[in-house]
Amino acid sequence: MQDVVFKNIAKIIERDSKVTTYKFALLRGVIDVIQDNSPYISFSDSRVNIPTGLLIEKWILYYYPILDSPTYIPQINGDVNLNIVGGTFGKVFGGNDESGAILGSITVTIQESGCLPIKIGELYGGGNRAPYSVYGYEVDGSGKVLRDAYGKPVLKTSGTKLYNDPVLNIVSATEIGSVFGGGLGSTAVIHGDPEININMVEGSVNGDYKYVDGESDPDNKYYDPNHADYIGPTLELGNIGYVYGGGNQAAVYGNTVVNIATEAGKSAYILNNVYGGGNQADVSGTTTVTVGN
């Protein structure tokens, strides 16, 4: 049993993304709680239950000094590569939530290959009310990103591109309500040229999804190979509601590109409209939409 636990922890450390420091702070907090041998830790059904309060205390102890440091320590100091392989989501963002700086490029890939189909309400290449710039950010003498009166990072709006433009790739998904190359909300501006590539194939489900009556989403039971109504590993070509090259009430200061079914053997099923620009949002440059190869 111990060998399995240690192997799982090792996999997380070795294979998971390590561009954000909160993960290490959380892992260190868990180790501390275990070493303290707290009487509030309980065991049931081969699981260890640790009260959230204990973890919060330890996590703040290790993580807050990073935020409070007089020297800027970026929390995403590198590229963002977000890969969704299965599951149901209300909104998915390639960028930050509310604030923060990304010192790297953004790439979002949606490819159905997990143990559940992909269902997304709204998909964004940018952030949730958080801006992003491929030109980087204004910094002070110590290298700390400058912020405006509202706590948002001060963007560089021109010059040499330090990072690649945001790219959103949709390969397979069961259902996506709306796709935006930009962000959500008036403060989620993008300085750069976001690109959306929709070249879809039939998705698939892999692995053994364990459906539990009364706990699991009823729509998921057919993806359990042990269920009588299992439909098999190959899914139908998914559908997308709307496509916007720009943002959702969020401006793009640059060009937008939307490519649909431009790769040989790939397709797309879009229920409604495709826009090169945004939804109630400006695009300062050109908008390019290409359909078919």
Q: How many CB atoms lie within 10 A of CB 139?
A: 15
Between CA 251 and CA 267, with CA 256 as vertex, the angle to 5 degrees is: 130
| Residue 16: pLDDT over 60 | no
Question: 40 is written with which tokens?
Answer: 């509030």
CB 161 within 8 A of CB 190: no
**HSE value, Cβ hemisphere, 13 Å, CA-based, for 131:** 24
Structural contact between residues 112 and 166, judged by C-beta atoms closer than 8 angstroms: no
Q: Residue 286: left (phi > 0), alpha (psi -120 to 50), or beta? A: beta
Residue 217, pLDDT score:
81
pLDDT at 59: 81
pLDDT confidence of 1, banded at 50, 70, 90? very low
Which H or E element spans position 10?
helix 2-15
Asked if the model's pLDDT at residue 27 lies above 70, the reply is yes
> What's the distance, CA 178 to chain centroid?
15
Please work out, in degrees rounded to the nearest 5, the angle formed at the alpha carbon of residue 245 by the alpha carbons of 243 and 247. 95
Task: Give me the residue spans of the domains in the chain.
Answer: 1-68, 77-291
pLDDT computed for residue 245 by the predictor: 98
% pLDDT > 70, the chain: 88
Give backbone dihedrals phi and psi of 283, rounded to 5 degrees, phi first. Answer: -125, 120
Q: What's the CA gap between 81 and 198, in Å, rounded?
A: 17
Rounded Cα–Cα distance for residues 102 and 87 (Å): 25
Cα(286)–Cα(165) distance, integer angstroms: 15
3-state secondary structure of 62: helix
Which tokens in the block code for residue 259?
């490519």
Phi, psi of 93 (to 5 degrees): -125, 140
- The predicted pLDDT at position 293 comes to 72
Q: How far are the Cα atoms of 22, 171, 238 from residue 164, in angstroms, in the given order?
A: 25, 20, 28
Among 53-67, 88-102, 103-117, the minimum mean pLDDT is found in 53-67
Least confident piece of the model among 55-59, 86-90, 108-112, 177-181: 55-59
Strands 106-111 and 80-84: parallel
